[in-house]
Amino acid sequence: MRSVGIVVPAYDPNVEVLVSYLGALRETIQPERLHVELDAGSAATVAAIRDAGATVNDAAERRGKGAAITAGFEALETDVLAFADADGATPASSLSDVVSPVRDGDADLAVGSRRHPDATVASHQTLARRFLGDAFAWLAGRLLDVDLYDYQCGAKAITSEGWAQVRDHLYEPGFAWDVELVAMAAALDLRVREVPIEWEDQPDSTVSAVETSIALFRALLVSRHRSKRLRDSQLHEAIAARRDEQPALVERHR
């Protein structure tokens, strides 16, 4: 069976919730490595994570979710690389469901889905927030090379081989990283599978719905542009030639 590594990105986490979640992930999935990428954490938080049996990298500043996961994936040496958000919104059993098709060789990238018809959701979201999420998913399905119910869920798994292909094409340091990962994987013809999950929205989330929606819309357009470049679109190559490209996340991580 292929080995599994799990990265949990965390910024100002509820330590009790995080430690409990780490325990559930270890017991349910039994990963070869359980690793937390912590942004601007305290010594007490670092100690609690280590006491829970996970390795931890404590960055001095807030890097953003995408940058943290990228750093974590680069630190893993397992066959399967997975991540889950620190708030525990995706139960360990559901992350196990996401990992399974990748570990079993049935997918290169598995995407947890809260909006899939077979998903089970206990939501505290406002109507406006749900509308923004649904509208984004619909638009992403029209613009990208893969049509999913949910692109943003904080539970995904990818093969180490798939990661080796997409890692140089990821630039978004924040929450838009999820969208970019899916877009680049599809553009590279990786096998993408959507997996329905159980999920509970966390009302204490630090994510701003309005700011995140703006960032996601921008990232969607940029991801479409980059995916078209990967597919040798002459138009998008011409657009790219007029821009100064920033380094990929893996380059900034070194």
Q: How many other C-beta atoms can be found within 10 angstroms of the C-beta atom of residue 159? A: 22
Contact between 38 and 10 under an 8 Å Cβ cutoff? The reply is: yes
pLDDT at position 228 = 76
pLDDT at position 243 = 52
Of 223, 245, 222, 226, nearest to 237 by C-alpha is 226
The first and second tokens of residue 249, run together, are: 């996340």
- Residue 143 phi/psi, 5-degree rounding, is -100, -25
Q: What is the pLDDT of residues 179-235, one digit of tens each?
A: 899 999 999 999 999 999 998 876 555 555 556 667 777 777 788 778 877 776 554
Burial class (CB in 10 A: 0-12, 13-18, 19+), 9: buried
pLDDT at position 210 = 56
pLDDT at position 239 = 44
What is the pTM assigned to this prediction?
A: 0.87
Task: Map out the domains of the chain as residue ranges.
Answer: 4-253
The class level of CATH for 4-253 reads alpha beta
